[in-house]
Structure 1
Amino acid sequence: MSLMDMPMEYAGAYGPVVINAVKALVVLIIGWFLAGFLSSLVRKRVVSHPKIDDTIGNFVASIVKWLVLLVTFIAVLQMFGIAATSLVAVLGAATLAIGLALQGTLSDIAAGVMLIIFRPYKLGQFVDIGGTSGTVKDLNLFITELVTPDNVQIIMPNGKAWGSVVTNFSAHDTRRLDLTFGIDYGDDADKAIQLILETAKADSRVHSDPEPWVRVTNLGDSSVDLGVRLWCDAGDYWELKFHMLKEVKASFDKNGINIPYPHIMSVPK
């Protein structure tokens, strides 16, 4: 039965409620789109500033979005006759219950603020947080989003991120690449060292300062271990590692340097 078909006394009673419900729905829709629009606008403006990095832009945009949604929620309540002062009084009386129910969420918000203040990582950096590794894709009021090298999404609550050990592999522009090559006891260690140095210096990604370092670092059960320390740009770390392993192996083969490996010998019966 439509509003027009109702008796006058029912229409008069429910008419304002229906009107307020429609108004509230319109306000919710407008508030939702406005929150998204302002959040996107703030993110673009902040990120475009040369002295502000993307991490702060995302965080501020998240705060703006939730503030607009909060204002929208209060406006909707006022349409149904619930004054803002009454709402504050109710929330004040229920603070303990809300705090207990949302302590995890409130902890995540507080942790998010701390992450922005101390900034142990930024967007785009590769990090390890409590044993979970990935590139930081997002940091907002509640969560930190990581993407693994094989493109798997990881959502981590800010409270857990703030309470864990953070290893930031991208914090500095340069990194030290450590390698170990084992050679046979019968081979010339000085010659092997020279071959490794020549391979390293031939690669433009290896920094000359600090200069490449190669030393005998261990006398193992079946090999003489040569430790290698090379400095490079952080972005070149993995490709340089793979290249050095391949090129040093090729250089050893060409110059008669043997890399020991386990052999299985059959015993005559």
Structure 2
Amino acid sequence: MEDVVTQVGAFGPLIASAIKALIVLVVGWIVAGALSGIVRRRINATPHIDPTLGNFVASLVKWVLLAIVFVAVLGIFGIEATSVVAILGAASLAIGLALQGTLSDLASGVMLVVFRPYKLGQYVDIGGTAGTVKDLNLFTTELVTPDNVQIIVPNGQAWGSVITNFSAHDTRRVDLVFGIDYGDSADDAMKIILDVAKADDRILGDPEPWVRVTNLGDSSVDLTARLWCQAADYWDAKFDLTKAIKEAFDAKGISIPYPHSVEIHKEG
């Protein structure tokens, strides 16, 4: 019985250290998250600072604090910070090889913040993956698709891919293509398109709206309209104008033909 008590007593300091380390870890995690949130809100509340920078700095603060908490936890078990540094130095090659992807994401995150190929709230395509930028932190970029699907892109992959930013400029060009029957007047149809476009307040006068015959198809004469609007109005303008021009064609007797073939019989 005395041996059992002695054994339990021997584990007493270890159990106490484990409980203390757990408390430090939990409290440190909560404090790191809270301070990160404060930094994010403070930076984002400053008008002349990009919110993208706020998210990145907040992420940096969180991970630095968690690193300090980790060192403190090791200290509770009697492992000095200098020993940790020595161990990491000795194992730097192995760690570097194991974490090369993570370190690449970290370095790429810094490059993304410095050069700003995209910002929070912008709609982008990163290597074939499209969505609105919701977050940019130390290691990843978070996108949200129009149907509200979350996509996490590693920063290393984002920095090494072709980035198409649809929101980088204030204005965008709306391209609309309409096919009309060969028996209808192309001039009349182009006038209808221009009239409808100019009647829409979202369509800009500069650059001037442009409509041309761009193709003679198998079943239709194709007209292309190139119109400019504010980037925020792009999709609404595109959808509304497509409907309005179709209805104007119907009212003016301009037909949009179905694909068809003409069969010619020759008398032998």
What are the equivalent positions in structure 2 for 1:124-135 lying under 5 Å apart?
A: 124-135=121-132
RMSD after superposition: 2.1
Task: Kindly report which structure 2 residues correspond to 1:242-261, keeping only aligned pairs within 5 A, or say none.
Answer: 242-261=239-258
- Structure 1: distance between partners of 2:21 and 2:115: 40
Are the aligned partners of 2:218 and 2:259 in contact in 1 as well (CA < 8 Å)? no
> Structure 2 length normalisation: TM-score?
0.93
Of 168, 180, 189, which aligns to 2:186?
A: 189
Counterpart AA for 1:49: T
Gaps of 5+ in 2: none
Question: Where in structure 2 are the equivalents of 1:1-269 lying within 5 Å?
Answer: 7=5, 9-10=6-7, 13-263=10-260
Q: Distance in 2 between matches of 1:229 and 1:60?
A: 41
Give me the whole-angstrom Cα distance separating, in 1, the residues matched to 2:259 and 2:16: 83
What CA deviation, in whole Å up to 9, does each residue of 1:85-122 have, x standing for no partner? 11100000001111111111111111111111111111
Paired residues, number: 265
1:169 and 1:22 map into 2 onto residues whose CA distance is: 52
Q: Is 220-229 or 23-32 further displaced after alignment?
A: 220-229
> Are residues 11 and 263 of structure 1, via their aligned partners in 2, closer, same or farther at CA, if it must alter by over 3 Å?
closer
Structure 1 residue 244: deviation in Å? Answer: 1.2
Q: Give the whole-Å Cα distance in 2 for the aligned partners of 1:209 and 1:37.
A: 48
| Distance across 1 between alignment mates of 2:107 and 2:194 | 50
* Rounded Cα–Cα distance in structure 2 between residues aligned with 1:11 and 1:133: 59
Residue identity in the other structure for 2:162: V
User: How far is the alpha carbon of 1:185 from its aligned partner?
Assistant: 2.1
Residue 10 of structure 1 deviates from its aligned partner by 4.1
- Write the distance in 2 (CA, Å) between the matches of 1:194 and 1:11: 93
Q: Is the 8 A contact 2:39 2:54 kept in 1?
A: yes
Describe the superposition over 1:123-179 as per-residue Cα deviations: whole angstroms up to 9, x where unpaired: 111111111111111111111111111111111111111111111111111100011
In structure 2, how many angstroms separate the alpha carbons of the residues matched to 1:33 and 1:174? 43
Q: Distance in 2 between matches of 1:244 and 1:21?
A: 67
State the Cα deviation string for residues 41-65 of structure 1 (Å, max 9, x = none).
Answer: 0000010011112111111111111
Determine what percentage of the aligned residue pairs are the same residue: 68
The DSSP-based 3-state class of the residue aligned with 2:247 is helix
- Whether the 8 Å contact between 2:219 and 2:260 is mirrored in structure 1 is no
